[in-house]
């Protein structure tokens, strides 16, 4: 709800400060009424997506004066039909998904439309997704429409760390699964959990040195998606997949969702 509200505010949509608890209660009632649409079986669910569109009565470039808020409810099946299927990425698209001062940290359709062409080109070249980079130092931002995580050995400290880009610059979407992975990993207390911008030269060097232990994307649909390769400057950098941490995150989050595991305090 907080992300929906923040995204509406970013687009100057009136009503962005709606009563979030009231909307949650409305969605609960919708689920109760449509409970027969909830599929059974592990991996199946009723996908819920609150959505807001402008219903402004005139054509023009201006903040809307009227809106329609609705909730998409769609039965969905398992994202992985036969276990994990590691994905191969390309960082050589030449396109930029988001930038500081833009809308990268908001859930808006305009973030996704420009990615269709580079995504199509990536598939044509034999890759599953685009790894989005930004800036002259080629910082890693996101993968496809997911947040990105690297599990590696820090070259300076020699310590293992789970790294993901921070939200401070305004070009990273604050994914709920991203937050869940960070919370879980910090409760384990087995390695450093770091929010910073890794660069592709750093990732390449970690692959060369054998310090990149695994990598995965994180998002609502897949929960986690293991990464087995990143194409960078024409070279395929192979990554071990599926890694132990990737599998553990999957087991923990899905176990909590199905009530067979206890989540961290406050979940």
Residue 185 to residue 244: CA distance in whole angstroms:
13
Determine the longest span between alpha carbons in the chain, in angstroms: 60
Q: Name the strand (E) or helix (H) holding 164.
A: strand 160-164
The number of CA neighbours under 13 Å toward the Cβ of 220 is: 12
Helix (H, G, I), strand (E, B) or coil at 211: coil
pLDDT digits (tens, 9 = 90+) for 22-32: 999 999 999 99
pLDDT digits (tens, 9 = 90+) for 49-74: 999 999 998 888 999 999 999 999 99
- 39 vs 83, higher pLDDT: 39
- Token reading at 246: 């990737």
pLDDT digits (tens, 9 = 90+) for 115-165: 999 999 999 999 999 999 999 999 999 999 999 999 999 999 999 999 999
Binned at pLDDT 50, 70 and 90, residue 81 comes out as low
At a CB cut-off of 8 Å and minimum separation 6, what does 128 contact? 87, 88, 89, 122, 144
Say what the pTM is: 0.93
């Amino acid at each position: 709800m907080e992300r929906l509200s923040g995204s509406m505010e970013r687009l100057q949509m009136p009503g962005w400060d709606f009563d979030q608890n009231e909307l949650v209660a409305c969605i609960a009632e919708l689920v109760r009424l449509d409970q027969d649409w909830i599929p059974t079986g592990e991996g199946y669910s009723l996908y819920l997506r609150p959505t807001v569109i402008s219903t402004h009565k005139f054509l023009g470039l201006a903040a809307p004066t009227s809106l329609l808020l609705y909730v998409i409810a769609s039965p969905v099946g398992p994202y992985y039909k036969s276990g994990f299927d590691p994905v191969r990425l390309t960082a050589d698209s030449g396109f930029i998904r988001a930038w500081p001062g833009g809308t990268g940290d908001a859930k808006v359709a305009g973030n996704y439309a420009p990615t269709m062409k580079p995504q199509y080109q990536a598939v044509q070249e034999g890759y599953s997704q685009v790894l989005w980079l930004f800036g002259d130092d080629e910082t890693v931002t996101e993968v496809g429409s997911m947040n990105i995580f690297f599990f590696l050995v820090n070259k300076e400290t020699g310590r293992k760390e789970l790294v993901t880009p921070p939200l401070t610059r305004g070009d990273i979407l604050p994914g709920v699964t991203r937050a869940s992975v960070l919370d879980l990993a910090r409760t384990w207390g087995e390695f450093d959990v770091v929010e910073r911008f890794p660069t592709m030269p750093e990732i390449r060097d970690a692959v060369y040195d054998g310090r990149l232990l695994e990598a995965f994307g994180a998002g609502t649909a897949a929960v986690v998606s293991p990464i087995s390769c990143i194409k960078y400057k024409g070279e395929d950098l192979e990554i071990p997949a599926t890694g132990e941490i990737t599998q553990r995150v999957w087991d923990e989050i899905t176990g909590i969702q199905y009530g067979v595991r206890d989540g961290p305090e406050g979940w």
